[in-house]
Amino acid sequence: MSRDTSSGWTPVDRFREETPAASVELSYAGVKSFLKSDIRDVTDVADRDVAVLGVPYDGAVSNRPGARYGPEAIREASAWLAYLSGYKGGLTNMRTEKQVDYSALSVADCGDVPVFPMDRAETAASIRAHVATVASQGTMPVLLGGDHYCTYPAFCGVAEGGDYDSLGLVQIDAHTDTSEESAVFGEHFHGSSTHHITASKYTDYDHVGQVGIRGYEAPDFFEFADEAGITLRTMVNVEEQGIRSAVRDAIDAAAADTDGVYVTFDIDALDPSIAPGTGTPEPGGLSAHQALTVMEELGTSEDVVAADLMEVAPTHDPTGNTGRMGAYLLVTLLERLFAE
């Protein structure tokens, strides 16, 4: 049977016209991009607010692997929010009581950067180059990790691509990642990323604000932190001071006399009862409410130029809650920055 398509009108055009709901894609349907955004090459994001890059690498962990599957889990979980927005024609965030217009947030998903499981240095070079390419176009890079070592090359890539002389770091984490060297893991592993960032030419410990720290650190760590100038807010400080005030202190330290702020959020900052899917869980962490408040507060800062969400290891969480929490955290930050 032949049909005339010379007019340009096709059966699917007619179906779409007669069925407006066909424009709403179910959360579990379609390509799994972050917030169901367009897929773009990293060289073609100049017209977007945000470019998302996955880093499926966990070759620098010191405990449980699995963060290589984090980008996939976060993307999949983010689809629910994109679906809700399309289904309802916009959203009201019931926490913030703000109207959220995701159409005002232009996102491109650039897929996963090439990683090399047996070559940490080549993986770092790949991350650095891809992030720098995004930043050079004036677009905000957002990384989906991956282990926390990946933050180090990403931070340098933002500084180089964005032509920033200096950047501050806000680190939401259970651990400080300030180890210079490990007898087992050497100088380059996920417990050393903040050390390497501060050893770069783009920042120092005076411009690092850490929130949520707990567990165990090296002997005399508090003396080191005080001498180095880290703005340190442990979980004890958070409980005494309040989460918004603690985050504001971290932002102030990171933004003082710098060209911008890089936000890194290790999912193990949350209590493992909420986010068990991570490599190095520590009891006594942030609640879901506190973690969302962190992103709400960070989203009010005009200094934030890049962000990542690291260490989601979904294989350790059959409920899927850890990936879901990671997606909600990133979306909360981005909607405060661009969509309210």
pLDDT at 157: 98
pTM: 0.93
Task: Please provide the distance, in angstroms rounded to a whole number, between the alpha carbons at the two ends of the chain.
Answer: 51
- Distance (Å, whole) CA 53 – CA 110: 5
User: What's at 27, amino acid-wise?
Assistant: S
pLDDT at 1: 41
User: What's at 299, amino acid-wise?
Assistant: G
- Distance (Å, whole) CA 68 – CA 56: 4
Residue 290 · residue 242 · CB < 8 Å: no
Backbone angles phi, psi at 13, to 5 degrees: -60, -45
Q: Which residue from 139, 143, 133, 156 is spatially nearest to 112, judged by alpha carbons?
A: 143
Tokens representing 280?
A: 């190095």
Q: Which CATH number does 29-339 carry?
A: 3.40.800.10
The annotation status of 177 as a binding-site residue, yes or no, is yes
Residue 196 · residue 128 · CB < 8 Å: no
pLDDT at 156: 98
All residue ranges of the chain with pLDDT < 50 are 1-2
Tokens representing 9?
A: 């009108």
Q: What are 59-93's pLDDT values in tens digits?
A: 888 899 999 999 999 999 999 998 888 766 678 89
Q: Where are the domains of the chain?
A: 29-339
The annotation status of 252 as a binding-site residue, yes or no, is no
Tokens representing 50?
A: 């945000």
- Distance (Å, whole) CA 270 – CA 150: 20
Tokens representing 317?
A: 């969480």
The annotation status of 268 as a binding-site residue, yes or no, is yes
User: What's at 188, amino acid-wise?
Assistant: H
Backbone angles phi, psi at 169, to 5 degrees: -125, 125
